A and B are shown apart, each in its own frame.
Chain A
């Protein structure tokens, strides 16, 4: 746990004076206003805040699926705002694992095929891809459900498959948007324990958005957003 928040740790995420504006029709909506955030490598950070506070937007910027209107977002040493669309896509496939609230598995693919999906973008041969996908499923405790389709799995199992998909390419950072928001308490606890394991044993930097204080309690650090600015830290 030496890396967690220690002053000597490298910075995995460095958000500098970021402003993000959306336009709905002709109306300008300011979502993030001068946001600053540093997340050290190996950190498990929970971003909390009411709806519309900008936490998902911040998460999307960190994950490289959105761009800031102004300011800089550096993640694992790369200024993601400077990358072209295709370079950004390539960067995401190597550096970021994304966990969605509603799992977002591909329904026509089995669990192992879903997990293997990010590896299709690599030059790995088929057998190695399959082996890695099975290993990731083993990590999340679902090796015996490899051939099951999403409709044959419970919500908690689906989210675990989604986590396996997020870690299969061995990214340095994992971002999770309300990963337990669609789960019952027991499944949510299992998922959170799994994320703690990924953080402590596999040294993954995790940035998680949540409304749930119990979920946030599993993180090392909690930050609160309100109306696009960082409100307080715990």
Chain B
């Protein structure tokens, strides 16, 4: 401990260089933690999800819909309890709130998940979405009615009876007469105990409304299939896909968790991209910190010789230099973690990001990611300081003094 003031004073010697290295390290750790948080949440989305339900989609891509005739055929298969259409509407609020049309198109910065579903089977097979009975009744009696999650209601200040408009970016769901009008008929609560992946920031509306609103042109986005026995998930999925194997629209059936992962993968191999960026940033900051430490040691060759002359051993000098590198790592890591905590906390409220982030269960900076970030910062500090410290350890006093 008695060497701590000595180490800190040396770091203040060239404070601009030290500070810029710490800031660089902080940005690196911030990026690492934020990207890891997103990836962890996506992994979590893969793992969560009901095992009693399957999602059947077009085998080629989620972009393609499935024929409506499939519903009855799937329903007839052994092991299938219920089937419900669920179609991703892709609607956003118009730029001018409460406006119906001609207001410059949808405002995608206010995007949230909105699904058109066959309400009766869909809500029966999703008991984790808890809706008061009177509100459910009102919803079923109103074609324009919708159910919104408590989180969504809080975000937009909506209450039962409020009206709003949504316009989809998907061409078949866009109408000549303008956006779809919706009336909030109920607010549901997500029972996270029953299903940790349940999301309270989704809007559900009648599939029938979409079907009729688009001139009966709409097919099914996916079929949600409830199983009699969760243990038969693989067998039922296989039999569904076998049923449509040689049709124009072959299917791919998978558990909800796997479906969620596939949905996320729509934006490409995000994991690989994010990990590549993270590695590049970490490698860069390692080089920057190593350069800083090398310069710091090179310009202090005489001082190192003096320390050794005074009786400091090679190991002690090495320890002092490694300590400096470690302090840079620790400070950068701590600042980076602080930044990540702030930004990750704010991401669910950022327009344009909230839709994506709120769709991920358990999104937040977890201690595992924080520990990895801090460990990474300390590792970078140590690795960057090792070579200069080793050179100081090996250096001979007389050679260094001769270079004055």
Contacts and interface: CB of A to CB of B under 8 A. Distances in A.
B398 A86 contact: no
Nearest to B14: A108
B309 A92 contact: yes
A109 B2 contact: no
A68 B258 CA distance: 74
B9 A108 contact: yes
A65 B308 contact: yes
Interface string B300-340: 00110111111111111000000000000000000000000
A170 B204 CA distance: 84
Interface of chain B: mostly helix, strand, loop or mixed: helix
B311 A109 contact: no
Interface in A79-131: 85-86, 89-94, 98, 100, 102, 104, 106-109, 113, 117-118, 120-121, 126
Given A98-B309, A102-B404, A107 B3 contact: no
Interface in B368-398: 397-398
A104 B302 contact: yes
Contact of A89 (B9, B313, B398, B404): B313
Interface residues of A, number: 28
Given A107-B13, A108-B10, A109-B9, A94 B311 contact: yes
Contacts of A89: 308, 311-314
Nearest to A86: B313
A104 B397 contact: no
A104 B313 contact: no
Interface residues of B, number: 26
A109 B6 contact: yes
Given A65-B309, A66-B397, A120 B314 contact: no
Contacts of B311: 89-94, 118, 121, 169
Contact of A117 (B302, B310, B397, B401): B310
B175 interface: no
A63 interface: yes
A86 B315 contact: yes
A66 B13 CA distance: 30
B76 interface: no
Nearest to A121: B311
A221 interface: no
B349 interface: no
A112 B316 CA distance: 21
B344 to A, nearest CB: 37
A60 interface: yes
A196 B195 CA distance: 87
A68 B3 CA distance: 33
A74 interface: no
A37 B196 CA distance: 85
A6 B308 CA distance: 34
B238 interface: no
A160 interface: no
B310 A106 contact: no
Contacts of B313: 85-86, 89-90
Given A89-B308, A89-B313, A100-B306, 7 more contacts: A60-B397, A60-B398, A65-B397, A90-B313, A100-B401, A108-B13, A113-B6
20 contacts: A65-B397, A86-B313, A86-B314, A91-B311, A92-B310, A92-B311, A93-B310, A93-B312, A98-B309, A100-B306, A104-B302, A104-B303, A104-B306, A106-B306, A107-B13, A117-B307, A117-B310, A118-B310, A121-B312, A126-B2
Interface of B: 2-3, 5-6, 9-10, 12-13, 302-303, 305-316, 397-398, 401, 404
